[in-house]
Structures are given as C-alpha cells and as structure tokens.
Amino acid sequence: MSSTLVVNVLDLLRRPGSQKDVSVVAKAADFDFADSRIDDASDVHIEMQLESSSTGIVASGTAAIAWSSICRRCLRPVSGSVEAELDDVFSRGVAAAAHHHRDTAGDALSETEPIIGDQIDFTLPVREAVLLAVPEAPLCRADCPGLCPQCGADRATTKCACVTETRDERWAALDALLGKLDDAVE
C-alpha cells in the first residue's frame, strides 16, 4: 500500500497548542480497500483537524466515500455514502505505539500511533475507519419485504400464492391437546 496521505507535522510539534486543517481528496484505489462494496475509482473526501499537545498530535475529522452493494433481503442493488469518524493520537518514538491514553476512571481509551520523522501517514487510519463505517449487510429500505423463501418472488413487486406460515413441528403434540383442553375446561 502506498502512502497516500502523509502530512508533515514539524510546525505543530514545535508549538504545542497549534492547529492545522487538512483537506484531501484521494482515490479509493490508493487505500487498497480490497472490498467489493467500494469502487476503486471512487473519491475519498478527507477533512481533518490536527492539534499539537505536549505529548504528540491529536487528529480528528471525517472520511467520506460512496459505496454500493446488494440488499440483504431482496438482492437489489443498493448504494449510498458514508462518513467515517477519524479520531487518533500520534506520539514520537517507537515506544509511543504501545503507550495507552487513560481517562479519569483509568480505562484505556486508545493506543497512540507513532510519528515517523516529522510526518504522519494517515493512510491506514483512514482505511480502517472507512471499512468499519461501510454497511456490511445493507437494506434497500427499512421495510424491505425480501424474497419469498419458497418460490423466490420479490415480495416488493409480486404477490405469490405461496403459504409462508411457518409451523414448528416440535409443538404439534401441544397443538393437538389445545382443542381437547378447551373442551375439558367448559
């Protein structure tokens, strides 16, 4: 994977408290998503704000991309766009990668990523955030009726004559008693 999004942060490292805005449009192919839901020719729109602290750089922002897939119920093509949240902390040195930030309760919030030289490569953090944000099993609409399990007809466009009542045969003995018990109670 090539380094698509490398940002020089030397000026931020010299002045704690300083900020830098990063706005980039890159091709999806540059991130090597290797995911059929994302077209390699799609654009990834990245907006980030970097802020320096005494221990490193805090990066927050979004990465937006279009996706396409198939509806998990009716198998029609479905597409949309997603905006993945980016929130990473970067520190200098190899040991920084193993350093954990902790909140006031002592719980680990996140691991810091290393700053190599005076640069941060955002390619992998953007790739991971986008892959987690793209829906894995989307629906064409929330109330999609799907396909008939017996004949395969699309229930959104066709009414089939199939009986779709599902009956669990394990309850058959109790169903037989149901009529008899009602008669005995009267």
Residues 6+ apart with CB under 8 A from 172: none
Number of domains in the chain: 2
Could you tell me if residue 138 is inside a domain?
no
pLDDT at 113: 79
pLDDT in tens, 39-55: 999 999 999 999 998 88
pTM recorded for the entire structure: 0.73
pLDDT at 164: 65
Could you tell me if residue 32 is inside a domain?
yes
The kind and range of the H/E element at 172 are helix 172-185
Residue 129 CB burial class (10 angstroms; 0-12, 13-18, ≥19) = buried
pLDDT interval class at 169 (50, 70, 90): confident
Could you tell me if residue 139 is inside a domain?
no
b/e per residue 9-43 (b: at least 16 CB within 10 A): beebbeeeeeebebeeebebebbebebebbbeebe
* One domain for residues 53 and 91: yes
Could you tell me if residue 27 is inside a domain?
yes
* One domain for residues 115 and 49: yes
Structural domain containing residue 164? 145-186
Place of tokens 């003995």: 173
